[in-house]
Structure 1
Amino acid sequence: MRVSKRGDVWWVSFTTPHGQRIRRSAGTDDKTRALEYLDRLKVQYWEQQRLGVKPDRSWQDAAVRWVKETSHKRTREKDIAKLRRLDRYLGHLMLSQVTRDVIDQIGERLAQTSSPSNANRYLAVIRSILRRARDDWEWVSHIPKVQLYREPKQRIRFLTPDEARRLLTELPEHLREMAQFALTTGLRQRNVSYLQWSQVDMSRRVAWIHPDEAKAGRAIGVPLNEDALDVLRRRLGRHGDYVFTYQGKPVDRCSTKAWKRALERAGIEQSFRWHDLRHTWASWHVQSGTPLQELMELGSWASYDMVLRYAHLAADHLRGAASRIDGTFLTHKQKPQLVRLS
């Protein structure tokens, strides 16, 4: 057991109760602090090897393992970006130091700098890692509660047919074709961007999305109406593999400056997102009488609750029920009298 100095930094070394030789940097140029670090390490290893106390793991260890085990997620790159931002708050902490107060402070700061809904995305990642550390890896016996912010329910934003025509007119050709295809099929942006000709059968009037490309992880069959086929006919011969391209490559991002400028010229509020084209498609279907159960299959939603967002747009089938209480506010004298025939 001893401390030694390398350059300006003190190192510690000792032998654990199980005979394991430990040698680490104390990370300080102060000998007193190095000796304190050595004492803490000795106690930690004694508790682990003699008393069975679980070793304290770092947040970074947990984050790295979580990223490896969730490599199948389609949001992997976004998760990694979130972890990079969280590293400034948690990167120097052990899991035992990730307390409710620490998490609440992170949530408050993120909510102030962006929005409560965006803060929830980060808090959900923290919660997922902590739960896996407790339930799967057994690194900790308990974890703090992660309280998410209440997110206000927003109105579904959709275009009228006239607004859609104005927007399509203002968009550059490559975005116009993609937007029109999204409005006729309801496909999500990434599925439109990376649609390949091998996924299209125009003679059978159908396209399909492979399971690894679908949000719900299930293959999607996409029936093609005449408007969708018109778009595909215009795209024939443009590229050997992909249906929609710009300068020979798939269009990865659609919410660009060109999109925002087209919204402005079309007189549509800037908050309208590309994903709202899918809401527009669904809203048009419901207003045209498509049953919600059929819409669920067409849009490949995982649950019926997702489709119920559009139910208020289809009140026609309830008109008969509403008429059952017609005349309730009429007085007795105003109600028609029944004549008894003798």
Structure 2
Amino acid sequence: MDRRVHETRELLLNGPTKVERTYREAAAEYIADLESRGKDSARALQDLRMLDAIIGGLPVGHVHQGVLKDWIASQRGVRASGTIDRALRTVTTVLTFAARVLRDGNTPWLAVIPKLSSPDWGARQPVRLTWEQQDRLVAALPRHLVGPVQLALSTGARQHEITTLRWDQHHVVNGLPMWSAWWIPPEVRKASSKRKASEQQGRYVVCNLAARSVIAAQVGKHPVLVFPSPKRDEAMYRINNHGWRGGCREAGVAMRVHDLRHTFGERAADAGIPLDVRRSLLGHEHRDITLHYSSPGLARLLEEAERIVRPAPQMEVVSSQ
């Protein structure tokens, strides 16, 4: 009886007992909201997985700079400050969602949104692979990563565009070789991630001879996915994994997956490909997409992409004297 009296008194004085929602619960609700609006959740999921062991089980009100301080310090020399900044911005977005959208009745999941500060370890300069470094890297990588890495170097496609590539994305264009054009849907394209579903745009990835050879080598390996996971019947989660990092160490190259895209862009510039064409090949935003995404436009893109070839080795001239 005394316990019931106490509970009744607490209810009258303080109201119903507040349920402490965890950060993981808020993150799951945020991802569900993204996907319900047709937005790509892959990047947010990557950030959430990075921090789940640290803050996933904490109540949302217990997530602040103090609990993240040691993790941030441990990432110096492991991840770029830009990567940490992106992850912390995702944390802030989830906490903001918990405060402004999520409710238990009329009570928000979070009362106060904490301010998170990102580290500044200096900007990392992009790395361009030489052809010899590319050979060493390909030789050092696990077999299932070789194709995706070679395709990135040959097309400039982003990691997520490659790992999710499906056979039904192939676009047949009259007059172009098989496997030349692939449609990247709006939900996969990074430029669409912050747009409304009605404003999102897809793009084409154009494959030159080197890229088509990579694609052809994948035929018959999976009925749906071009680059299936080696362990599960699903798409690869990412290229940047333990196999990638181990291969980079063995090859003696300190680089990120995005540097493959940078290498393609630099090689395209060296080949004399005009800037507007390079932007289309890389999938950058520009005004006149119809110029390049019509059949004649795709043919022009392919013609330019074929100019990116490995230089022939120079022969040493031996004097006859």
- TM-score, normalised relative to structure 2: 0.63
Q: Residue 121 and residue 233 in structure 1: after superposition, are their counterparts in 2 closer, same or farther (change >3 A)?
A: closer
Q: Residue 136 and residue 242 in structure 1: after superposition, are their counterparts in 2 closer, same or farther (change >3 A)?
A: closer
Equivalent residue number for residue 306 of structure 2: none
Equivalent residue number for residue 128 of structure 1: 93
Equivalent residue number for residue 145 of structure 2: 175
Instruction: Kindly indicate whether the alpha-carbon contact (under 8 Å) linking 1:197 and 1:241 is maintained by their aligned counterparts in 2.
Output: yes
Segments ≥4 residues shifted beyond 6 Å: none
Instruction: Kindly indicate whether the alpha-carbon contact (under 8 Å) linking 1:107 and 1:119 is maintained by their aligned counterparts in 2.
Output: no
Identity %: 22
Equivalent residues in 2 for 1:139-218 (5 A)? 139=108, 143-171=113-141, 173-201=143-171, 204=176, 205-217=180-192, 218=201
Aligned pair partner of 1:226 in 166, 187, 209: 209
Q: Residue 261 and residue 59 in structure 1: after superposition, are their counterparts in 2 closer, same or farther (change >3 A)?
A: closer
Equivalent residue number for residue 34 of structure 1: none
Indicate whether 1:282 and 2:265 are aligned: yes
CA distance in 2, matches of 1:166, 1:13: 70
Equivalent residue number for residue 7 of structure 2: 13
The AA in structure 2 aligned to 1:128 is: T
The AA in structure 1 aligned to 2:93 is: S
Q: Which runs of 5+ in 2 are unaligned?
A: 36-40, 193-200, 288-321
Deviation, structure 1 residue 149: 2.6
Structure 1 residue matching 2:224: 3-state secondary structure: coil
The AA in structure 1 aligned to 2:122 is: P
Work out which of the two has the higher radius of gyration on C-alpha atoms and give 1 or 2: 1
Deviation, structure 1 residue 155: 0.3
Equivalent residue number for residue 328 of structure 1: none
Equivalent residues in 2 for 1:1-342 (5 A)? 2-3=2-3, 12-14=6-8, 38=10, 42-45=12-15, 58-60=20-22, 64-71=25-32, 72=35, 73-75=41-43, 77-78=45-46, 80-81=48-49, 82-87=51-56, 90-91=58-59, 95=61, 103-115=64-76, 117=82, 119-136=84-101, 139=108, 143-171=113-141, 173-201=143-171, 204=176, 205-217=180-192, 218-245=201-228, 246=230, 249=233, 250-255=235-240, 258-260=243-245, 262-266=247-251, 268-269=252-253, 271-301=254-284
CA distance in 1, matches of 2:56, 2:284: 34
Deviation, structure 1 residue 44: 2.7
Q: Deviations over 1:281-334 (max 9, x none)?
A: 122223333344433332224599xxxxxxxxxxxxxxxxxxxxxxxxxxxxxx
Structure richer in strand, relative to its length: 1
Q: Which runs of 5+ in 1 are unaligned?
A: 5-10, 16-37, 49-54, 305-342
Q: Which has the higher contact order (CA 8 A, sep 6+)?
A: 2
Instruction: Kindly indicate whether the alpha-carbon contact (under 8 Å) linking 1:193 and 1:252 is maintained by their aligned counterparts in 2.
Output: yes
Deviation, structure 1 residue 159: 0.1
CA distance in 1, matches of 2:156, 2:83: 25
- TM-score, normalised relative to structure 1: 0.60
Q: Which moved more, 1:206-215 or 1:243-252?
A: 243-252
Instruction: Kindly indicate whether the alpha-carbon contact (under 8 Å) linking 2:24 and 2:56 is maintained by their aligned counterparts in 1.
Output: no
Deviation, structure 1 residue 242: 2.6
Instruction: Kindly indicate whether the alpha-carbon contact (under 8 Å) linking 1:255 and 1:274 is maintained by their aligned counterparts in 2.
Output: yes
**Number of matched residues?**
255
Structure 2 residue matching 1:222: 3-state secondary structure: strand
